[in-house]
Chains A and B, each alone.
Chain A
Amino acid sequence: MKNPALEGIGIGKVFGKDGLAVRALHPTHVALYRGQVLVIMGPSGSGKTTLISILSLVLTPTEGEVRVDGQSLRNVSSDGLAKLRRDKVGFIFQQFNLLAGLSALENVAIPLLLRGTAAKERVARAKCALDLVSMGDRANAKSRLLSGGQQQRVAIARALVADAGVLLCDEPTASLDGQTGRSVLDILQRIARDSNRAVAIVTHDERVLRIADRLIRVEDGHAEESEVDELAKRRSA
């Protein structure tokens, strides 16, 4: 198989120390490949957010290490990690996390702003990204005035705009109704297939299985890869 775009090797996490220590994640191996949608499922408190936080480079694991394009991150400074997140990873959050006062276009342009991209190019690329999620016509709308589904699509555009190879989504459909959630999933699937990116989705929403190429089930801090149940896939379609 191809090289993984992002790989967690033996990553585990213990919060706190000594008597107060909580094991949130047992050491596990996770690999994200381009062109694939990886779904991470599990009940509440099982360790899904912990896992995706580690893969996102915002949480340092207590065991193991994360590799981006095969490069180890053992000795990378926090600014170095920030740069890697900026250039290699796109984020989609349950709460969208758009800047309320900015327009859709301005929100999408943030990662480019952080990269120091020139203004003209910023606008052009942000427009392109908005077109990809069919939000081109609302580019100048204030983000707080958009509906939940529209906001999530803007957030997806923001995650796409910098051409990051990896897209990490935490409960992307949890704040959306069924119909809107379905269309967001379609977009994510299209992104993985058509623009050859690695997409990982954390969720406890069974309907997400419809677009899953691989599945990791997390239970009580134990993450285990399991077969995508064709039946489950068809049922939720």
Chain B
Amino acid sequence: MSHDSHSDRNHFTKEVHQAKNDLFEIGERILTGLLRSKNLLEIGRARSHRCKEEFVFGLEALVEHALRNARVFGDLSCRCIVPLRAKDFARYCQDLFVWVASAATEGTDATDSIPANRVQVAAGTPGVAWAEPVVQGFGRVTRPDGVRELVKVIGVQPPRYAGLPRTLSAGTSPQALRASGRIFMNANDRPTFGAAELGDRVEVDGRAGIVAGFFEGMDPHSPYYYLYANIDDARGMTDFLQDRVTYVAVGLEQGASTEDVKRRLLARNPDTTVLSRRDLHNAEIRYFLVRSPVGIVFGMGTVVAAFIGGAIVAVTLYSTVIDRTRDYGMLKAVGARGRDLLQLLMFQAWAFALVGFLVGAGAFFVVRHGYPNLPMRVSPEMLGAIALAAFLSCTLASLAAVRRVLTLDPAIVFKA
């Protein structure tokens, strides 16, 4: 049995290896198809249908490859992705919690405090396993060069330390905050604090904080630093009132429905708002986009850029059609049907989309690679959405050219 599974695994590894090699070869083929033609547009115009063929052949091979290796990929995902997902999900379920916060909450920064007794009220609500307070306030941190800057201090409470980032650096344990005067620093801020090491002292509003750990993966878009401390130290550093808290983190009992608990919490704390992790996340994004100029500026910038890009594609396609009226007329005369011409034009439009997408995505990843500290993130879904948008806008942009070609009178070929 164990021998069987061993040889099975060996065979599987070989298959995966083969599939990977095939994929590389296909990618290469598609690329050569693209590169062989000096002008990408010409692929669509069948300047050299050899290139076009190579390209199409590459795509076909890709699909064929995907189908042929469906089992391998299926297996792969079963063996690697599914258990991972399951583990992730389990962890997520375990610490699934909701937040009780001031009704004025618009985002994690834009919030007010609530009475501290809400912790007990929340803890006594059916479906709630535990409740822990979180405070959040601002102070001044003194950099090694003496400059004092704004810092957001978040105070969390044992035993769960709810509110800590989930991405603590390796070697950092929440327990390190148990002793007083300890802080966790954003790993990205270490250079600013003279290559801060564990045990270094940082001063926040006249109080010493000893660096007891680091967290990663948080790239706040705000103009201040983040520190975590235990709740008492945080109150001291930010002059936070003893009888107030910023959030109550509420852990759910196993099997309790988030919606039910949210409703019950709200009933018992009518002057608050109750947010799930997702609610908070969405609120944060909304706040960022609506209340800060970033949303408008980037939003408008993107819309304008998209329009200009679309217009450029449209004008280029249209003018190539005008330029080549005679050629398109000839094609129609010798028997190209509407769908043949549509294919030709769409090929050009989609070549634009593909090149645009590849260049844009490539630039994104190059910049991110060069500046790993920049908060640049993209999810596969977002990449997909962008590809789809590029594809759609280029399709739209080709409409004028398509109309022009389809309404072209083939009789022009006989006119001198």
| Cross-chain contact A53 with B411 (CB below 8 angstroms) | yes
| Cross-chain contact A106 with B415 (CB below 8 angstroms) | no
| Cross-chain contact A82 with B414 (CB below 8 angstroms) | no
The one of A78, A85, A101, A111 that contacts B47, using a Cβ cutoff of 8 Å: A101
Q: Which of B66-101 contact A (CB under 8 A)?
A: none
B42 contact set on A, CB distance < 8 A: 101
Is the CB of A91 closer than 8 A to any CB of chain B?
A: yes
Is the CB of B178 closer than 8 A to any CB of chain A?
A: no
Report B321 CB to chain A, min CB distance, Å.
14
| Cross-chain contact B330 with A101 (CB below 8 angstroms) | no
Report B387 CB to chain A, min CB distance, Å.
29
Tally chain A residues at the interface, Cβ within 8 Å: 33
| Cross-chain contact B336 with A114 (CB below 8 angstroms) | yes
Bound form: Cα–Cα A213–B334 in Å = 26
Is the CB of B49 closer than 8 A to any CB of chain A?
A: yes
The one of B334, B411, B414 that contacts A110, using a Cβ cutoff of 8 Å: B334
| Cross-chain contact B53 with A97 (CB below 8 angstroms) | no
Is the CB of A58 closer than 8 A to any CB of chain B?
A: yes
Known contacts A99-B327, A102-B47, A102-B48; is-contact A114 B414 (Cβ 8 Å):
no
| Cross-chain contact A113 with B46 (CB below 8 angstroms) | yes
B45 contact set on A, CB distance < 8 A: 99, 101
Report A115 CB to chain B, min CB distance, Å.
8
| Cross-chain contact A106 with B49 (CB below 8 angstroms) | yes
Q: Which of B369-390 contact A (CB under 8 A)?
A: none
| B 33-71 binary contact with A (CB < 8 Å = 1; else 0) | 000000000100111110001000000000000000000
| B 337-353 binary contact with A (CB < 8 Å = 1; else 0) | 11110000000000000
| Cross-chain contact B414 with A53 (CB below 8 angstroms) | yes
Bound form: Cα–Cα A52–B413 in Å = 11
Known contacts A97-B326, A106-B49, A114-B340; is-contact A85 B414 (Cβ 8 Å):
no
Is the CB of A62 closer than 8 A to any CB of chain B?
A: no
Is the CB of B332 closer than 8 A to any CB of chain A?
A: yes
| A 78-104 binary contact with B (CB < 8 Å = 1; else 0) | 110011111101010111010101100
| Cross-chain contact B334 with A111 (CB below 8 angstroms) | yes
Known contacts A102-B48, A106-B46, A113-B46; is-contact A97 B335 (Cβ 8 Å):
no
Bound form: Cα–Cα A49–B411 in Å = 9
The one of A59, A86, A97 that contacts B327, using a Cβ cutoff of 8 Å: A97
A102 contact set on B, CB distance < 8 A: 46-48
